[in-house]
Amino acid sequence: MLNISYNSVNQHVSRERLSSLQAVEQRRSGRVLLRLLMIFSVLFVICLFLPWTQHIRATGTVTTLRPDQRPQMVQSVIGGQIAEWYVREGDFVSAGDTILRLTETKDQYFDTSLLDRTRSQVVAKEMSVQSYQSKIDALADQMNALRESGRLRTEQARNQVRQAELTVASDSMDLEASRLAAAVAREQFERMEELYAQGLKSLTELENRRLTYQKAQADLISAENRLLASRNKVLNARVELNAIQAKLRDDLAKANSERYSALSGRFDTEAGLVKLENEYSNYERRTDLYFLRAPQSGYITQIMAAGLGENLSAGEQVVTIVPADYQLAVEINVRPRDLPLLSAGQQVNIQFDGWPAIVFSGWPNTSYGTYLGEVVAIDRTINASGQYRVMVAPDPTDEPWPDALRAGSGATALVLLKDVPIWYELWRQINGFPPDLYAPGTSTAPAAPPKLKVPK
């Protein structure tokens, strides 16, 4: 009681009969409060020295670790009209299963026998190439025959030239002999005339000697004629040799020209054949693309184009397939100031949306409903939101992630850093300092001094 009134009731109250009032008035509340303050102070000081795990909080989404395990759009390679559907949303398809069938919408592919006709053109071109090759081989054989015939005729002409030259040499020797005989006959005739003038020889002997001299002159003229004829034969033989060689070159040039023309025709035909084969392969591939098939095993989750008879353009998205086998990962976004604190192999505590969890950020070991992950990749460039993307995979040493978890759901990640006392963490938060960097797997031992090589 405060006893602030002048009309006190203490004299009218008998305390001996009121035990509760006596207990209240005799109690010492100041001692109890002081004792409680001391106990709480000691507990607070003890708590300041408890370990606290520094962390970086980040949000992200569940995805897959490999890009081929993520949901993918199946696109139509060619344009066409939907003729028949073979699946519906929620169906499981294996790799290579048919999703839908298309029909042609371009008039240049309307021919139902387009492949057969194109194949016939390819066969005709192949036969044309073979014909050109046969002509080239025939011209090559003809050129070889011309060379062989020209060689033989050239050798024959050279032999004739040589024979004519030898004939010229023989006639030249005969001419010299005739000249010598004519000179001897002329000297004998002159001596005979002198003897006949002296009366030592008869007229008959003189006439015989004159006849011999005239015969020697005639033989000389005949030898000169034979020599001129032999020389003329040499010239004719050489002209014939040159004519044979010129004709051989002309025939070879003509045959070679026809061969090159055949080669040119064959090359043009081969180019046309390659073009036709390319067209045939494109037509065959286009025919196969009328059936849109699943690129991998998975579930049909969304169909973009619906009704029959709807036209699809090339590259248009048709359905979405979610792979059946996948390895989950979490894609989180961290601030640039926290990026230097991250490294591959760092542990991360993850809380998934829809999974009840009790999280103690400073004491991850006491958290409930969280799953452990490991940093596997860090982007080298910043994204459009001004943050860096970090990929977190399940930790193989911890319990597996939930089986019912699906790609696209949200997640909250705590990247675990260094263990520090609570007083240090409070001091860091008050001063606005960043968390301490802790690189897992690094040794704190001092580096060994370098070894020095003493020169000899």
Q: Check which CATH number belongs to the domain holding 342 and give it.
A: 2.40.30.170
Single out the residue of 53, 55, 56, 54 nearest to residue 335, CA to CA.
56
Q: Kindly state whether residues 212 and 264 are assigned to the same domain.
A: yes
Q: Kindly state whether residues 301 and 263 are assigned to the same domain.
A: no
Q: Kindly state whether residues 178 and 255 are assigned to the same domain.
A: yes
Residue 5: pLDDT above 70?
no
Instruction: Provide the domain limits for residue 414.
Output: 48-68+326-431
Q: What is the tens place of the pLDDT at every residue in 325-366?
A: 888 899 988 888 778 777 888 888 888 887 776 655 555 555
Tokens of 244: 């044979």
Give a yes or no: residue 368 inside a domain. yes
Average pLDDT (44-49) is 81
Task: Report pLDDT for 418.
Answer: 66
Q: What is the spatial distance between Cα 392 and Cα 327, in angstroms, rounded to a whole number?
A: 11
The side-by-side arrangement of strands in the sheet containing 298-303 is 72-75, 317-323, 298-303, 92-93
Residue 45: pLDDT above 50?
yes
Q: Kindly state whether residues 63 and 174 are assigned to the same domain.
A: no
Q: Kindly state whether residues 284 and 307 are assigned to the same domain.
A: no
Q: Kindly state whether residues 298 and 353 are assigned to the same domain.
A: no
Give a yes or no: residue 299 inside a domain. yes
Cβ(283)–Cβ(114) under 8 Å? yes
In sequence order, the 6+-apart residues with CB closer than 8 A to the CB of 203 are 196
Check which CATH number belongs to the domain holding 185 and give it.
1.10.287.620
Q: How many domains does the chain have?
A: 3
Classify 365 in phi/psi space as left (phi over 0), alpha (psi -120 to 50) or beta.
alpha
* Weakest-pLDDT range from 21-25, 118-122, 392-396, 440-444: 440-444
Q: What is the tens place of the pLDDT at every residue in 276-287?
A: 899 889 888 888
Q: What is the tens place of the pLDDT at every residue in 216-241?
A: 888 888 888 888 888 888 888 888 88
Is pTM beyond 0.75 here? no
Average pLDDT (380-406) is 86
Q: Kindly state whether residues 334 and 346 are assigned to the same domain.
A: yes
Give a yes or no: residue 440 inside a domain. no
Check which CATH number belongs to the domain holding 300 and give it.
2.40.50.100
Task: Report pLDDT for 92.
Answer: 92
Q: Kindly state whether residues 277 and 340 are assigned to the same domain.
A: no
